[in-house]
Structure 1
């Protein structure tokens, strides 16, 4: 390769190799990765110039497509897999004495590949986006939203992950009711050979897609809902060692997250939370956040025409958000159960 009629130096080629691998990780965040000779050449070059150890290169190559041996608290290995890939890249940046790309920049790279894969559901959820929250106590939810449960339910998990049951407030005959649904719209995917795969939960809906891929539900007031939440979590820190940071509304035990719901053949009734851009002061945590609605906005979200909902497509003020950083690892290996 040449730039301005001169051969590329080893350092410049190594940078191209790293960017090639960053692109592979971006694809991995949005779905399945097809390994290429370009990625293999990039890994080989990093070994040859002393940036990567051979075992690191092999681990990266295998992790691109292997999701079976990783485990995390949400029941999927995707988070640990992506953190492993990013951790290896960060190690190589450190070896070259270069600053690693920010998590926000990596999210933007990944979002280019998060194309809409199913007209019924919208965009697949990236691992680096909000995928756990705490709804709070059931009695407090009933009192706060003045909603009665449709029937008897189990309490549900204190921390909700995708494909787990959570509380939803919706209107029935003009009155707010509390119902338990599965978090995430099921998305039907197919493998390399066209074979059907297990559906994946799409638990976040981008606001800028409400008039397109989510319009079928967003335009119908009977498919809108409020998601009671006491706080939600984001992953913060160095990939591979990311920790939970919890966010909530200052001085409020509960808040309403704008949502959509529908019935599905796979999981029964299910719901998804609507996301918008984050306040600039909080972008170091994540560049997107849930659409948080104040009590005097609930009725509008549940009953107003679709075109009037765009008033809520704005960051919630950072000054009204409480941030609680913790030392809890975002992805924790599950304890192994001994064979019988």
Structure 2
């Protein structure tokens, strides 16, 4: 599953986008100095947006993944059939990556191919996520997954839940059922391109059971 993403979106652009949705964006821990990064991996930190206690939304920087009972990182979490009555968040991204196995006949030890997925009609987007408080590391987030849409299916049997702007406020609104927001991306939502060179194999998928 997805274990690598990109976020080169300036905080000022995020704030303007949420203002346009009449969803004021606050910064309870101060406005972060986020450097543009094209390779955000598991255990790295990134901007997430969640419902603010007093209304609107708030942006904080948190770690991607928390350890499960075996110490393995929970970086993807199945959304199928779940409602998520707490802990919803949006993970800011302008791209995410998937990997495919080497073709048949490739030399032993050949690396997997890395594919970049972006939103076809928007410069950036959000991935649906949830955040939790872990007793050892504090607050951390994970990405929600679902069955793959047509853009992802040729590359992976699961996909992260990609949300365009019309769904951001809806995902943060706990009165709206998760099933009304989460689902595979319709055909044409995502653009895909092969990254130059080959990349190391992705880590195995882990999903925390509630």
TM range (shorter): 0.7 to 0.9
CA contact (8 A) 1:142 1:178 kept: no
More strand as a share of residues = 2
CA distance in 2, matches of 1:136, 1:275: 22
TM norm structure 2: 0.79
Residue matched to 2:85: 219
Pair 297,281 (structure 1): closer, same or farther in 2 beyond 3 Å: closer
Q: CA deviation at 1:242?
A: 1.1
Mapping 1:309-324, distance limit 5 Å? 309-324=178-193
Bigger relative contact order, structure 1 or 2, given CA contacts below 8 A and separation 6+? 2
Mapping 1:73-84, distance limit 5 Å? none
What are the Cα deviations for residues 260-288 of structure 1, in whole angstroms up to 9, with x where unaligned? 11222222211111111111353121121
Pair 186,209 (structure 1): closer, same or farther in 2 beyond 3 Å: farther
Matched position secondary structure for 2:41? coil
Matched position secondary structure for 1:282? coil
Residue matched to 1:330: 199
Q: CA deviation at 1:291?
A: 1.1
Query: Which structure 2 residue ranges, 5 or more long, are not aligned?
Result: 20-24, 104-109, 202-210
200-209 or 153-162: bigger deviation: 153-162
Q: Which has the larger radius of gyration?
A: 1
CA contact (8 A) 2:42 2:73 kept: yes
Residue matched to 1:25: none
Q: Which runs of 4+ in 1 moved over 4 A?
A: none
Matched position secondary structure for 1:300? helix
Instruction: Please tell me whether residue 153 in structure 1 is matched to residue 32 in structure 2.
Output: yes
Pair 249,238 (structure 1): closer, same or farther in 2 beyond 3 Å: same
Instruction: Please tell me whether residue 265 in structure 1 is matched to residue 135 in structure 2.
Output: yes
Residue matched to 2:17: 144
What are the Cα deviations for residues 193-212 of structure 1, in whole angstroms up to 9, with x where unaligned? xxxxxx2321111012635x
- Select 1:228's aligned residue among 86, 92, 96: 92
Matched position secondary structure for 2:188? helix
Query: Which structure 1 residue ranges, 5 or more long, are not aligned?
Result: 1-128, 190-198, 212-217, 333-340
CA contact (8 A) 2:76 2:145 kept: yes
Mapping 1:176-195, distance limit 5 Å? 176-189=57-70
More helix as a share of residues = 1
CA contact (8 A) 2:3 2:75 kept: yes
Mapping 1:59-70, distance limit 5 Å? none
Residue matched to 2:78: 206
TM norm structure 1: 0.51
